[in-house]
Structure 1
Amino acid sequence: MGRRRGGSGGGGGGPGAGAGIGTAVSDRSYYGRAVLKEPVWTPEVALYFWLGGLAGISALLGFGARLVGNHRLARSSILASFVALLGCPPLLVADLGRPGRFYNMLRVFKPTSPMSVGSWVLTGFGGAIGAAALSELSETLLPAGPPAALRWLRALGRPAELVAATLGLPLATYTAVLISDTSVPVWHEARHHLPFVFAGSAAASAGAVAGALTPPRHSGPARFLAVFGSLLELGAAALMERSLGERAEPYRRGPASEAATAARVLTGTGAALLAAAGRRRPVAVAAGALILGGSLAQRFAVLRAGPPSARETRGDNTVKALPGELGRPPRRRSLR
């Protein structure tokens, strides 16, 4: 099969003659292939993004509730954060393939690497929220006070809550920075909006869970956070798609479109229902379930938009090299 060249003969009259590196010369990319490889992230990644956001903002909500003396809401939020965090390491290891790879990411701290920073944030947050949850459980299960050997645990509770709250927002949003720090157009071009989408989604889910677990007379701040987070998520997602222009096509058709539509419907319905629920706990539980479903669907929508966006990095949608700049594809070497 003949290979398409940019010019004829020695090449003075080709379409790309005299042009610099990166000039488009045809309607194809290098040998008809997409420039980028499709991201191959499994569903476990979307679940990890979702649970990490829920855990991070729940810790922040719990610390805020503690500061204003709402100890019942603080307890629900801290324990919800801890339970959500328990699912994160198995999901992360399932995506990495083996536990040793997570350990390897902790051998070096690179401030310029979102994955390195995120690994350390997850580790620090896990220790802090674990100590805070154990302290909370000791106060609940042992109201008369823990044994002398465990009194240090109760004293550690409040400082641990502060550390978890400090790391909560970075944990909820570093995943947005992680995927936008790639060459996939639909992610990279949304780098200014994705952190707000993830933060709003995490706030909505954290408020929804705390609102369902806490008695109505104590859950007002959680319900407010759920509604506010839902509005932030929906608004930021709409602005993101508008700013992407033609690059937002994966959100308009295909698997990402289905997930994005589900996110809008579930989150919007849940927020409206929760705003109208008042102190009716059964309604708050139902609304919270809708918001949680919408938050999870939003993560799937963002991740599913990546592969089709990478496949479109061909033809006039990307920068191509001139003939001769990349050379011919490598030939297979004979084993003889």
Structure 2
Amino acid sequence: MDERGTDTARPRGARAEDATGTFVAHRGLLFTVAYEMLGSAADAEDVLQETWLRWADVDPGTVRNPRAYLVRITTRQALARLRTLARRRESYVGPWLPEPLLTAPDVAEDVELADSVSMAMLLVLETLTPTERAVFVLREVFGVEYGEIAETVGKSLAAVRQITHRARAHVAARRPRGAVSAAETRAALEAFRRAVDTGDLRGLLDILAPDVVLLGDGGGVARAAPEPVVGAERVAPLAAGLRRFGAAALRPAQVNGCPALVLRLDGRVDTVLALHIADGRIAGLYAVRNPGKLSRMEHEVELRR
């Protein structure tokens, strides 16, 4: 043993193999933590790379709880990146939306996980401070103990409890109203798609909530509304314009654990349209058109708790 408790007699290759196996086993969880912290798959992958580099220097045999250890590294790296991203997003052109993910059906089966990665919820998390977001995600989504969270974010136990209470109240005041089943979302999505396909403006007005909000993210690269569009009377004509692409181009998909629509043009993803449903009607439409955010729509992404 050396002074750090590492078993120096154990072959280095065997330690490296153990480290790799442990990291791969927890990769889905670590990606989910980073993504919920950042709202960006690309940045989450960078955080995982940084986490791996730090983990590779550790002998797994000296770590009592590898899962907790890896989550702690990932969270700290995500916190550092989140503070940088906050400055970058101040200069973002138009509304900013999270990077959409094509997710497997089993994500929707975990109702709490699906809710936590939905477009609507990730936008609520954007309104928290970086530390509040880390504490809320670790405690409310992943059930991490307060003591472990305190060590991760460098705060006292009492401070973490206060931050958790504050973040809960903040999210509760802004989170989407009421739980909606996947079946309800699919029904609303199909009604919307049918109205678009037939050019039924009345049908669109019926399925859209009076105060519906449309957010379009083009990132200054693709055409999108530069400001939020509010109200069914204003959103319906814009949605009706999708008819020119034809129903075949607008296909249902599982995005961030929820039913959504994907517009493909010339074989590539042009727009991801996620929905937020409240009281049986569409209360939020989130259209991601920035090409830099659409690469995760070709293959399913593993999300885990």
TM-score by length of 1: 0.29
Q: Name the structure with the higher strand share.
A: 2
TM-score by length of 2: 0.31
From the CA coordinates, give the structure whose radius of gyration is larger. Answer: 1
